[in-house]
Structure 1
């Protein structure tokens, strides 16, 4: 009898301990979620990144809160100001290439060179996202081209052919203007879009002067004194009379609307800023849009200028460095890339990741 009493007492005590453990979360408690912040401009395609963030929250317990902001020079100034003030988000979606070095990545961003996904990254992107051989970003999305997007129905209506020279392109623009069609869509309210023509002409510049980019960065060559490079600026000057009247008040979104509707015939832009938006908003119009390279001066040699995507950078001074790395590792896994690409309305270019096809 005494033994049974002791057993009952033990059961009651053990039950009380179990109840207390459950109450305090000692058993079967869910891991606490980590919340990361991300700064991203409104001109970036959002469907893919949003899908990855949603998936990461479910599978990793990492929630990403996006701060969507302006683009162009406003974004440049904001990023520099935030880095200088210490008010830095955990993740930043920003340009790669020449705009990286002024951000002092060695002191501001996580060095990703030793991460397991690093060897997967295409050399072209790696070079654009590295300083002194150290990698600081993963590709945000797809590679793209700086090119001329055109409305194929408008071309057919006026009997136009895809031009193989700049002279032929301007002749097409003359036909369109004569018929009351906006020949070239300008969206210079987003000021950065004014650069796409002369930067997108890089294929033609480099064909004539292969070492121009390297010599330009060293200060040994200038656009003004290099005839092949100056030609790109002359092309920009040639376009000024063909823009829509509201080109200074129009945004990229406005440009997509004008191109899809046929209000404008040509839009000189980055493919990944245009094609996904048209595919999403006007899915019945996407097949009406074609793409050709910014023409050179000879029909025998045509090539297109390829842009690396923006990068996703992790703040070196974040309280959540390990969570940032975990998120970036997931983003660069086949599972993460599949989630990203599956959410897109159109695949507008290759992902700069070795041995991966969207």
Structure 2
């Protein structure tokens, strides 16, 4: 079930993946540059999107469906690679008034950093945002003003688990950490790896901390705001410290696979699919890796949120998709067409086009959009948390503060090198340096 809220009331900060800057590349028929009236009297607009194959395939599929429904509008694609250079490109284009008519970019904190009030078209009350789920609207809003529509699907940070092994051992999905440990003990006693760890890709070590944030926020709804203001610390807040402690427990109790230090995500997925490993803290979007590693075992694997201390408040830590925006430099002749494109993207027809381009790995945050019946069980399980309104944003969608050394510190805790309490203190120091670089008040 989705919910509309065309005028969200809260300001959300978010951390999202950076884009990049390189010279623009033509990615569709027609010339790049400013939009124009087409020779047949229709309107031509330009959409700046990623230049990688996946981004281009998705955009082309959407454009084809949109142009079929709107034969008087032509959409040309402008390419932008990913990474820090593209992030700079977006900011430069906005600052110089040379941004194409439509562009997709991060939601959250990077969205806030492009000065939306100054640079973007306010879509509040417009048909383009009428169907946007209220869970997403704050990620593209400043106060009550909405500036974008979701592009792609949400996903969660939690635990992929082998459902068949759970059934064989008579286990139920845990909603408290104590239940999680009891399940892990039963799995270990059965001679299997209880908790898969893959530190060959260091980012995966962060999941017990990052994926636990729903539990932190449930216990203290103001935690993110207070953290950003330097009034909350991981080392001194028992609820926030718990994620580091859980990571240490996984090591100390001998739950991890023997090759955890070198294993990578595909290794973890193969172990999970085979049932030799049973629980894997990971982002649900990595279902694509599971599908590639063991396509015949995809539906043997389910997903649950990382549990905390309170079963009643247990829920999913959610990561939100990027968004599509209209710069305020888009001329009136193209503005109507641009809004129509956004309204199409944020509609069931737009969701269907995206699903045709690539299988969804989570829910579309648009009213009326449904997932194809054949999506993996993991995706269905993530959708269920959204349907039940048992999800909340990851910390990086509520605060710009994240230290660069978290991955390495988590690897050290999960490897038994550094105790959880010491790592939390070191991370607080790491965060302080980063917050000072951002010029945040209170640091």
TM-score when normalising by structure 1: 0.69
Residue 309 of structure 1 and its aligned partner are, at CA, apart by 2.3
Residue 287 of structure 1 and its aligned partner are, at CA, apart by 1.9
- The residue that corresponds to 1:92 in the other structure is 104
- The residue that corresponds to 1:291 in the other structure is 303
CA distance in 1, matches of 2:292, 2:147: 31
CA distance in 2, matches of 1:35, 1:86: 14
Residue 202 of structure 1 and its aligned partner are, at CA, apart by 2.3
Residue 205 of structure 1 and its aligned partner are, at CA, apart by 1.5
Residue 230 of structure 1 and its aligned partner are, at CA, apart by 1.6
Task: Select the structure with the greater relative contact order (CA < 8 A; seq sep ≥ 6).
Answer: 1
Correspondences of 1:1-358 after superposition (within 5 Å): 34-39=45-50, 51-59=61-69, 60-64=73-77, 67=80, 69=82, 75=83, 77-86=84-93, 90-94=102-106, 96-156=107-167, 160-170=171-181, 172-173=183-184, 179=191, 181=193, 183-186=195-198, 189=201, 191=203, 193-239=204-250, 242=256, 245=259, 250=264, 256-262=269-275, 264-271=277-284, 273-275=285-287, 278=290, 282-297=294-309, 300-301=311-312, 303-314=314-325, 316=327, 322=335, 324-341=338-355, 345=359, 348-349=362-363, 351-354=364-367, 356-358=369-371
Which of the pair has more CA radius of gyration? 1
Structure 2 runs not aligned, ≥5 long: 1-38, 372-443
Instruction: Please say if residues 196 and 277 of structure 2, whose CA atoms lie closer than 8 Å, have aligned partners that are also in contact.
Output: yes
CA distance in 1, matches of 2:270, 2:140: 32
Instruction: Please say if residues 140 and 311 of structure 1, whose CA atoms lie closer than 8 Å, have aligned partners that are also in contact.
Output: yes
Structure 1 runs not aligned, ≥5 long: 1-27, 70-74
CA distance in 2, matches of 1:46, 1:296: 40
The count of residues paired between Structure 1 and Structure 2 equals: 319
- The residue that corresponds to 1:20 in the other structure is none
**Cα distance per residue 1:146-172 (max 9 Å; x no partner):** 221112234456665533432443454
Instruction: Please say if residues 125 and 308 of structure 1, whose CA atoms lie closer than 8 Å, have aligned partners that are also in contact.
Output: no
